């Protein structure tokens, strides 16, 4: 079955560490996205990519980085510059933006 796989499901980071969240899709979608979800707030866009080797900053890109070397993969790195990284991170993809998104199951990142 086609879908989006995010890993790991839970991730713990020490202060000052960089961590990378994985996102893989087999839907043949061109566009991919990373969102952050905090309690009581709407999803906020971190980065998005329309095609391979191209990506754009979203509304809260500071402290994050991404790459898009393959159509199927869009990993997110949370750097030590992100001061409040504890959150639920969601990866999504779409064939067309007006069709809605397919989301992964999320990664919960906790700073310890």
CB of 80 to other proteins, least distance (A): 26
Nearer CB in complex with other proteins: 31/79: 31
Radius of gyration of the chain (CA): 13
For binding to other proteins (CB under 8 A), which residues are involved? 4, 6, 31, 33, 35, 40-45, 48, 50, 56, 58-59, 90, 92, 97-106, 108
How far is the C-alpha of 96 from the C-alpha of 61, rounded, in Å?
23
Nearer CB in complex with other proteins: 35/74: 35
CB of 102 to other proteins, least distance (A): 7
Residue 32, C-beta contacts closer than 8 angstroms, at least 6 positions apart: 23, 25, 48, 49, 68, 74, 91, 92, 93
Nearer CB in complex with other proteins: 53/98: 98
How far is the C-alpha of 18 from the C-alpha of 32, rounded, in Å?
22
């Amino acid at each position: 079955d086609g879908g989006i796989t995010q890993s790991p499901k839970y991730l713990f980071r020490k202060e000052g560490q960089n961590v990378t969240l994985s996102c893989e899709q087999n839907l043949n979608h061109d566009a991919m996205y990373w969102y952050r979800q905090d309690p009581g707030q709407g999803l906020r866009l971190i980065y998005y990519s329309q095609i391979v080797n191209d990506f754009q900053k979203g509304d809260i890109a500071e402290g994050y980085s991404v790459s898009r070397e393959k159509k199927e993969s869009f990993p997110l790195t949370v750097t030590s510059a992100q001061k409040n990284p504890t959150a639920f991170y969601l990866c999504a993809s779409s064939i067309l933006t007006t069709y809605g998104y397919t989301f992964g199951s999320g990664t919960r990142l906790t700073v310890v």
